Structures are given as C-alpha cells and as structure tokens.
C-alpha cells in the first residue's frame, strides 16, 4: 500500500524561553499507512495492580531508583511495593491514624510519611522496618516532601501552618502561617528557593524560602485546594481541588495560563510529567485525566479504579505513573510519552514527505497506538477494567513491619546499611522471599542514613 504523506503537529518545549513556556509549530514528520499512524507512541497501559491496603489509598510515590513504590492509606499503614518479580511487599505499621502523604528522599534511602496522628515518620524502605518519628504539628499533617537536595522536609497541616525541618535530627527550622484555614498541600520548587501551598481558604500562596514571606496569593480557585505542584521548569504551578478544575499559572507574571474543566468531581491529586508537556490528575469521578499542556486540551481519560481516584504521581523518569483509589488498589501504568525523536523522524521521511498546508489544531488527532488500525479521537478514553498486561507482576505477598524504637540521640551518618535487631522473631532470607512474617519492634540505638 502506498503511504500517504501527512502533517503532524510537532510540539516543542523550551526551558530557556523567557516568555510563555508553551510554543508549537507544524512540520511534516510522519506517514499514514493504511489506517494507522506509524512512529507514534502507544497508549498508556496498566502494568501492575497491587492490593494490600485495607482502606482508601491516599498517596503514591516512586523510589527514584525505580525499584520500589510507596503508598499511604487511611488504614494507617505505609506500603512499599517492590517491582522485582517475586519480591515481597512491606506493610510498615507505626502511625496511629491515617497516613495522608508519602515521599521518597532523592537518594531513595528514606521514605517520609505524614499522618493524621500529627506526626511525621522517616522510614528505611527495607525489611529492617526501621523508622524514627517526630511530632510535626498540633493537628493533622496533610503533606510531607523532601527538598531536592534531600536535606530538608516540608510539611503542612490542619493547624494552618507550613513548617520546614532538617532531615538530620528532624530539627525545626521555620514556620509559615498566613493561611486562614487548613493547609492541605505544599511543594518545594525544583531549585528549593520557593514553596507553594494550597488551602481550604481557597487560596494558593507562593512563599520565598529565604525571606520566609508570602510573595503572592492566587485567588482564582473556586473551592478547597487539594493538590499543588511546580512545573519542572520552576516557572509555573498547577492546582486542583473541590471545584473540579485544574489551573496552571505562570509565577513570573502571576498570570493564569490555562484552565481545564475536565472532571465531573473533585480533583484530589495532580502531577507534572518530567518533560513538562503533560499533567495527570485523579478525581472523585473515578477517572485519571492526562492533559496535553502544549495543545491545551484533554489527551486521555483512564478508567481503572472502582470508585474515586485519590492519588496519582509520575515516576522521576516519566516512564510510569501510579494511581491509588478508594477501592484500596494501587495501579502502576506504563506510558511512552516523549519517546519519539521528531528530528530523526523528520530526517527519515524528508525524501518522501512533501509539505502540505498546516491543518487547524482541531484537525489533529492525539498520538495513536503504534501499528493499530483505529485512529483515536480527541480526548480519547482508555478503559482498563481488565487484568494488567504484565501477568507476571501480580500482587505480592505482604509482610507486616512494625514500629521501630529509637533512642533520642542520633549521630550524623553515611548511607551505609543499618543493622537491625529483631525482637522475638527468627527471620531468614527464605522467609523474606517466600513466607509472611511480622516485625513488631526493633531494639537498641539506630542511626538513620542521610537521604
């Protein structure tokens, strides 16, 4: 069959651009053969389905080494899922109430959890089950995040404050307190100079870390703010909440750039793809939405959870994203965003491609599955009410790891492994690989590594 030359929309993103961060151009970069586009990435696919939580999943985060995934739940537990085949999942027991946020340190050697019991715990995500705990706020702790250098923690709370702590010794640094209601979410900027927070007072505040001052307040949100995030460039922020909308602002001009009304229910969580080209959201309408920020439109609607989707997060390399829901499930998805080098595609088809008049943006279909016959329409939906594609990665057996007991004295240390003394249990490597066991406590002084 003779291929037909077509024009595809070639979208580019520039970190150096000092004006608007989004720009686009049309170039002939592909061919249409039969009824399928070639050289176009596949749709997102569900790869793993983890079951182990006993209540709603509230937060998910990938270990930067891509060997583990952490999740928190209303069941008061932190789960660590190991991606290696046949490896066990760990359930860390220590919090006395719901775990509302989890976050891996940049090195992946520590994972932090924030809880409704007013505390933050730092865990070593291994079978040792070691942790240290500190009271961070006078009310529910809604969020916790490591700084990009791994040396500080950012927390926020129903006590209407944000706080910054050192990871080593968990020393309090300073507090930010201009919100008039619960602070539900807070994030560091990529360079650590700024902090963004969202509150039930329906505002988003931007803070300067050095001056400890609020440098701008965004009032455009129409409801409680459930989730905020910095664009990877550090020049934009996104926020979502109970008004079912997603908004993106340019923080250099304090200007609203994009406004999406993609969901029919409250938006609980959002995450930028590392490329900065996409934004994914999780909603009470039981769907995940992937927004194409360059075209300013809905890209995909994903159906995987049986009930509200409560958490979503891209991996650091952007090749996967994970979601959690009220159905107590953690889903891991594979995406092929930004896999195509359009310059190479252009060169390979230059000889047989002839420039056609640039089509209107509404004539452009989203990137269709490679070598499939159907061309997917705009705002396409992917229904995943089926078994995960990778059937070798079913839910692993869960190991319960209990709270650790530490002395109050902690010394500075390296990232060397920390030995554990198990109380009342005889655990072998065979147990780790094949059997279920429970760790109730650890004895003696412990030295947590730097993150």
Say whether both 315 and 345 belong to one domain. Answer: no
Q: Is the residue at 420 inside a domain?
A: no
The β-bridge partners of 146 are 153
Residue 170: domain span: 45-337
Q: Which of 286, 309, 337 is the last residue of a domain?
A: 337
Look at residue 146 and tell me if it is in a domain.
yes
222 within a domain of the structure (yes/no): yes
Residue entry with tokens 């619960």: 182
Same-domain pairing of 29 and 111: no
Three-state DSSP class for residue 368: coil
Distance (Å, whole) CA 354 – CA 193: 48
Does 417 reside within a domain?
no
Closest to 288 (Cα-Cα) out of 243, 240, 237, 250: 240
Backbone angles phi, psi at 431, to 5 degrees: -60, -40
Question: Are 32 and 161 members of one domain?
Answer: no
| Of 409, 416, 415, nearest in space to 444 by CA | 409
DSSP result, 287-324: EEEEEETTTTEEEEEEE--SS-EEEEEE-TTSSEEEEE
Token pair belonging to 71: 């999740």
293 DSSP β-pair partners: none
Do 276 and 314 belong together in one domain?
yes
Taking the C-alpha atoms of residue 16 and residue 445, their distance in angstroms, rounded to an integer, is 49
Say if residue 323 is in the same domain as residue 344.
no
Is there a single domain that holds both residue 122 and residue 161?
yes
Find the distance separating the first CA and the last CA of the chain, reported in whole Å.
Answer: 57
Q: Are 114 and 120 in contact (CB under 8 A)?
A: yes
Same domain, residue pair 230 and 81: yes
Query: 226: phi > 0 → left, psi -120 to 50 → alpha, else beta; which?
Result: alpha
Q: How far lies 278's CA from each of 289, 294, 340, 362, in Å?
A: 10, 8, 15, 18
Is residue 153, in this structure, part of any structural domain at all?
yes
* Digitized pLDDT (tens) for each residue of the chain, 451 residues in all: 443 333 333 333 333 333 333 433 333 333 333 333 344 456 899 999 999 999 999 999 999 999 999 999 999 999 999 998 778 899 999 999 999 999 999 999 999 999 999 999 999 988 777 889 999 999 999 999 999 999 999 999 999 999 999 999 999 999 999 999 999 999 999 999 999 999 999 999 999 999 999 999 999 778 999 999 999 999 999 999 999 999 999 999 999 999 999 999 999 999 999 999 999 999 999 999 999 999 899 999 999 999 999 999 999 999 999 999 999 999 999 997 766 554 554 454 444 444 333 222 222 222 333 223 333 444 556 554 434 444 344 567 787 776 543 323 333 332 322 222 222 222 222 223 332 233 333 322 233 443 4
Same domain for 79 and 119, yes or no, is: yes
Residue 190, domain CATH:
2.130.10.10
Pairing between β-strand 380-383 and β-strand 297-303 as defined by DSSP bridges: parallel
Are 168 and 228 within one domain?
Answer: yes
Domain count, the chain: 2
CA dihedral sign of residues 399, 110, 236, 172: positive
Do 62 and 11 fall within a single domain? no
Residue 430 parent element (H or E): helix 429-434
Tokens of 152: 């500080």
Indicate whether 240 belongs to any domain: yes
In a domain? residue 299: yes
Q: Is residue 396, in this structure, part of any structural domain at all?
A: no
**Could you tell me if 348 and 294 lie in one domain?**
no
What's the CA gap between 230 and 218, in Å, rounded?
A: 14
68 and 108 fall within a common domain: yes
């Amino acid at each position: 069959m003779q291929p037909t030359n077509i024009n595809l929309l070639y979208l580019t993103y520039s970190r150096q651009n000092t004006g608007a961060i989004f720009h686009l151009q049309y170039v002939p970069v592909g061919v249409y053969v039969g009824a399928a586009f070639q050289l176009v990435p596949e749709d997102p696919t569900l790869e793993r389905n983890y079951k182990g939580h006993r209540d709603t999943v509230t937060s998910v985060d990938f270990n930067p080494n891509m060997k583990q995934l952490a999740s928190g739940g209303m069941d008061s537990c932190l789960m660590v899922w190991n991606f290696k085949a046949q490896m066990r999942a760990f359930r860390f027991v220590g919090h006395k109430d719901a775990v509302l946020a989890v976050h891996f340190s940049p090195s992946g050697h520590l994972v932090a959890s924030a809880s409704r019991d007013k505390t933050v715990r730092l865990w070593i995500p291994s079978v040792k089950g070691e942790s240290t705990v500190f009271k961070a706020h006078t009310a529910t702790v809604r969020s916790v995040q490591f700084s990009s250098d791994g040396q500080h923690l950012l927390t926020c709370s129903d006590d209407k404050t944000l706080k910054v702590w050192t990871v080593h010794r968990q020393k309090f640094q300073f507090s930010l307190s201009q919100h008039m209601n619960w602070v539900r979410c807070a994030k560091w900027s990529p360079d650590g100079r700024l902090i963004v927070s969202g509150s039930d007072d329906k505002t988003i505040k931007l803070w300067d870390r050095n001056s400890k001052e609020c440098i701008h307040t965004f009032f455009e949100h129409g409801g409680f703010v459930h989730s905020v995030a910095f664009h990877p460039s550090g020049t934009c922020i996104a926020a979502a909440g109970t008004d079912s909308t997603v908004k993106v602002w340019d923080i250099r001009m304090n200007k609203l750039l994009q406004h999406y009304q993609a969901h029919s229910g409250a938006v609980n969580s959002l995450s930028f793809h590392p490329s900065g080209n996409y934004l994914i959201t999780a909603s009470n309408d039981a769907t995940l939405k992937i927004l194409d920020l360059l075209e300013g439109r809905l890209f995909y609607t994903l159906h995987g959870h049986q009930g509200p989707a409560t958490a979503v997060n891209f991996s650091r390399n952007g090749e996967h994203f994970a979601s959690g829901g009220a159905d107590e499930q953690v889903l891991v998805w594979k995406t092929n965003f930004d896999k195509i080098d359009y310059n190479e595609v252009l060169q390979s088809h230059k000889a047989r491609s002839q420039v056609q008049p640039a089509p209107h943006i509404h004539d452009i279909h989203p990137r269709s599955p490679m070598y499939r016959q159907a061309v997917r329409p705009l705002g396409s939906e992917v229904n995943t009410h089926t078994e995960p594609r990778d059937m070798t990665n079913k839910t692993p057996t869960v190991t319960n790891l209990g709270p650790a007991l530490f002395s109050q004295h902690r010394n500075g240390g390296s990232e060397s492994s920390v030995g554990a003394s198990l109380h009342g249990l005889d655990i072998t490597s065979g147990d780790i690989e094949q059997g279920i066991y429970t760790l109730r406590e650890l004895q003696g002084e412990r030295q947590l590594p730097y993150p």
